[in-house]
Amino acid sequence: MISRKLIVENSLGIHVRPAGNIVNITGPAASSVELVYAGQKVNAKSILNLMMLVIVPGSEVEFIINGVDEQKVADELTELFKNKFYEDAS
Amino acid sequence: MHPKQEPKMRKVFAGKAASPGYVIAKTKRILRQRFSISPIKISEDDTAIQIESFRRGILQVKKEISSLRDLTIRMAGKDEARIFDSHLMILQDPSLIDDVISLIKNDLWNAGYAFHICMQTLIENFEKSDGIFKERAQDLKDIYNRVFFHLNSDESSLVVQDKVKEGVVLTGFSIGPNMLMHFEKGKVLGLAIDSGSATSHVSILARSMQIPAVMGLTNLSESLDADELLILDGTNGIVITNPDKEDIEKYKKQIEVFQNQKLELFTMRDLEPITMDGKYIRLNANIERFEGASEIISFGATGVGLYRSEFLYFGRDSLPTRSEQAEAYRNVTYQLDPLPVTIRTLDAGGDKMLSSISMETEANPFMGWRSIRFCLDRQDIFREQLKALIEVGDRGNLRIMFPMISGVLEIENAKEIYNDCCEELKAEGFVIPKIEIGAMIEIPGAVMIIEEIAKRVDFLSIGTNDLIQFTLAVDRSNAKISSMYEPHHPAVLRSIKMIVDAAHKAGIPVSVCGEMASDPLSTLVLMGLGVDEFSMVPWCIMECKKLIRSVNYDEVRAISAEVLKFPNSDSINKFLREKYSQKIKNLGISSFITSRNF
């Protein structure tokens, strides 16, 4: 099991597109992926769950990843957050 | 003040004749109720079908959004199309789907209501939040509307408001084949449906159940009151609402004529399908389940020309085992021994999905991973079926047919697997019978190399529905172009001639299975082109027999030879009507000849 804490650094927070980007990684993964934010824990393979949390810019979120490809998933998520979901640059 | 009650007027609705016969009866409207937003408690038995319909609705919407996305990528670019990716993701969201299924399964809500409350909760939550999140509610509303639109236009998703006590004519926007099976035998006297055509699956079913039907009536159902009396004329494709006395008198007589002709036709049962000058034409039946086998005998068929084995695989979560299959096949071949029984190997994929195997949604399912292509890839499934077939081949007269053959390699590969299975069964101690192997020809490319294919099989069978569709590039389910679906298009008739010639050169017989076989004019043309056997819905066999017994083979040959010279369907149909109309009229089977193709 891997726990990975990441900061939401884009200007709009986790709205539909970033949530989609996350699910693109978590959805096909063999591992289970959960996200903890503001005391709530949700299935991070569900775009709706992610959107419902209304995660605002500057927040810290924690991913709990458990399974054979957990390292790969953790790395990809880190990369995604580091790049601000590839949206602020464009 | 009372609203003025206008007396209802007699009105004639013209639709498409889909199944012959006449009915005077009250109507029962089928409502699109299964996906109503209003809460309906369902029984535990219905949960599976509700969940299945919900999944199918989602699948269709996914298809629609995917094509929208592809279009947007082409027209505007990848970034603009990203919103559709999110929509697709929401549609397959595991937590949404789980919630809906749990509401159906555990709380026994209808699928529509279950989806409705899940989406409403989400939409409300988003609307409560601020800024950019609030806008997301609109995306969800869009998805919500799309799903409901699809669930409501899905023909299998209909239910009848209440139980039917007496015989009725069912009306409604559309009706699925499953729906019809829900009723007790004898309760449905006729079908008057707003959508669909003579080639819809439900029309085929109506004909085999001998229920008169008119399809494509556009807005009939909306103009009807509950329990309204109407006249249904399935032979001519007409519905009369508020019929006057004369109508009722006239149709009572028609019903009498129909009954007499029906009795007359049954005298055909024990006669041979042989022309006046002695040419024997095999008239086989199409069946889907072994229950159909006894029907074959009662309608006087010469065998089974098409047993659709895929029905063994439908409606279940696991694959049928070899012994289950063997039993099903044995039920037909033993019962009909020594009549030939042609079993088509699994023809799944395309629009016929198996719930036991997950298949991807395809852009062009009819040209996709289906039929023999699927079987050659999934040899585990194919081998089980072949072994079951070989196992039962020791008794009875079994023939095996591979569907959708496009070239020699497929035939060779399929036969190699077949031989392999024979070897394995021999090792298990079975006696290996000699079973004839045939190819179904429904792809124009296969017609171009038909001589090569004919050399490698024991018989050919032409699937006209697909062959016409592929030759003319016409999707017959698309109403805008369905008039272009011309069975007598010269390209189709010349293709059939090529197939017949190649088969006869190789010394093997040719059969035609498909809707075309059950149309009297088409039957005569095809016979004239040299087709040796026909396979059709059991009910049509007797009228076809009567037809065959009334003609001279030499004349029919000469007329078809003439037909091949014409440049288009119109001139061909005109010529055929000149030659055959009177003859067909004189047969005294007028009540049975619907105006379906002409």
Cα of B62 to nearest chain A Cα, Å: 16
Is B136's CB within 8 Å of A46's CB?
Answer: no
Query: Which one of A42, A46, A55, A88 makes the best mutation probe of the B interface by having the most chain B beta carbons within 10 Å?
Result: A46
Q: Find out whether B271 and B306 touch, Cβ atoms under 8 Å.
A: no
Cα of A89 to nearest chain B Cα, Å: 13
pLDDT confidence of residue B123: 84
**CB neighbour list of residue B290: distance below 8 Å, 6 or more residues apart:** B328, B331, B332, B335
**Chain A: residue nearest B130 by CA?**
A54
Q: Find out whether B253 and B22 touch, Cβ atoms under 8 Å.
A: no
- The partner residue sitting opposite B86, judged by closest CB among A16, A52, A54, is A16
ipTM: 0.83
- The partner residue sitting opposite B89, judged by closest CB among A20, A52, A90, is A20
Region B274-592: CATH code = 3.20.20.60
Q: Find out whether A19 and A42 touch, Cβ atoms under 8 Å.
A: no
Is A46's CB within 8 Å of B93's CB?
Answer: yes
Is B125's CB within 8 Å of A52's CB?
Answer: yes
Is A48's CB within 8 Å of B136's CB?
Answer: no
Cα of A46 to nearest chain B Cα, Å: 5
CA-closest candidate to residue B189, choices B219, B223, B207, B213: B213
What are the residues of chain B with a beta carbon less than 8 Å away from any beta carbon of chain A? 79, 82-83, 85-86, 89-90, 93-96, 122, 125-126, 129, 132-133, 136, 139
| Model confidence pLDDT, tens digit, residues B253-283 | 999 999 888 888 888 888 999 999 999 999 9
Average pLDDT rounded to a whole number, residues B164-173: 81
- From chain A residues 56-85, the ones with a CB under 8 A of any chain B CB are none
**Chain A: residue nearest B132 by CA?**
A15
pLDDT confidence of residue B358: 61
Q: Which residues pair with B17 in a beta bridge?
A: B214
Number of helices followed by number of strands (H, E) in chain A: 3, 4
Amino acid at residue number B72: T
> CB of A41 within 8 Å of any CB in chain B?
no
Other C-beta atoms lying within 10 Å of the C-beta of residue B573: 19
**Chain B: residue nearest A86 by CA?**
B79
pLDDT band at A14 (very low <50, low <70, confident <90, very high): confident
Q: Which residues pair with A47 in a beta bridge?
A: none
| Model confidence pLDDT, tens digit, residues B65-74 | 888 788 778 7
- pLDDT tops 90 at residue B486: yes
Cα of B444 to nearest chain A Cα, Å: 40
φ, ψ of residue B319 to 5 degrees: the values are: -80, 150
**Chain A: residue nearest B86 by CA?**
A20
Is A12's CB within 8 Å of B129's CB?
Answer: no
CA-closest candidate to residue B58, choices B107, B15, B22, B112: B112
Reply yes or no on whether B201 is catalytic.
yes
Domains in chain A: how many in total?
Answer: 1
Least confident of B273-282, B515-524, B526-535: B515-524
- Domain B44-148 of CATH type 1.10.274.10: yes
pLDDT confidence of residue B179: 64
d(CA B407, CA B374): 15
pLDDT confidence of residue B244: 93
Is A20's CB within 8 Å of B94's CB?
Answer: no
Burial string for B222-258 (b: 16+ CB within 10 Å, else e) reads: eebeeebebbbbbbbbbbbbbbeeebeeebeebbeeb
Average pLDDT rounded to a whole number, residues B180-196: 81
CA-closest candidate to residue B537, choices B187, B20, B156: B20
Structural domain that includes position A15: 2-86
Is A23's CB within 8 Å of B90's CB?
Answer: no
Is A46's CB within 8 Å of B96's CB?
Answer: yes
> CB of A15 within 8 Å of any CB in chain B?
yes
Catalytic option among B375, B421, B422, B513: B513
Report the mean per-residue pLDDT for chain B. Answer: 85
Question: What is the share, in percent, of chain B residues with pLDDT greater than 70?
Answer: 88
| Model confidence pLDDT, tens digit, residues B319-371 | 899 999 999 999 899 888 889 999 999 998 765 666 666 666 677 878 888 99
d(CA B453, CA B506): 10
> CB of A38 within 8 Å of any CB in chain B?
no
- pLDDT tops 70 at residue B181: no
**How many contacts, defined by CB atoms under 8 Å, are there between A and B?**
46
pLDDT band at B59 (very low <50, low <70, confident <90, very high): confident
pLDDT band at B598 (very low <50, low <70, confident <90, very high): very low
pLDDT band at B1 (very low <50, low <70, confident <90, very high): very low
Fold observed for domain B11-32+158-264: Glucose Oxidase; domain 1 (3.50.30)
Query: Which one of B62, B79, B91, B93 makes the best mutation probe of the A interface by having the most chain A beta carbons within 10 Å?
Result: B93
| Model confidence pLDDT, tens digit, residues A26-82 | 988 899 999 999 889 999 999 888 888 888 889 999 999 999 999 999 999 999 999
Is A15's CB within 8 Å of B136's CB?
Answer: yes
CATH number, domain of A46, equals: 3.30.1340.10
pLDDT confidence of residue A88: 56
Is B96's CB within 8 Å of A19's CB?
Answer: no
Please report, for chain B, the start and end positions of each structural domain, with discontinuous segments joined by +: 11-32+158-264, 44-148, 274-592
Is B132's CB within 8 Å of A12's CB?
Answer: yes
| Model confidence pLDDT, tens digit, residues B204-252 | 778 777 899 999 888 888 788 878 899 999 988 999 999 999 999 999 9
pLDDT confidence of residue B442: 96
Average pLDDT rounded to a whole number, residues B86-115: 88
Tokens representing A66 are 């458990």
- The partner residue sitting opposite B94, judged by closest CB among A15, A19, A43, is A43
pLDDT confidence of residue B353: 63
The runs of H, that is alpha helices, within B393-489 are 408-427, 444-448, 450-454, 464-471
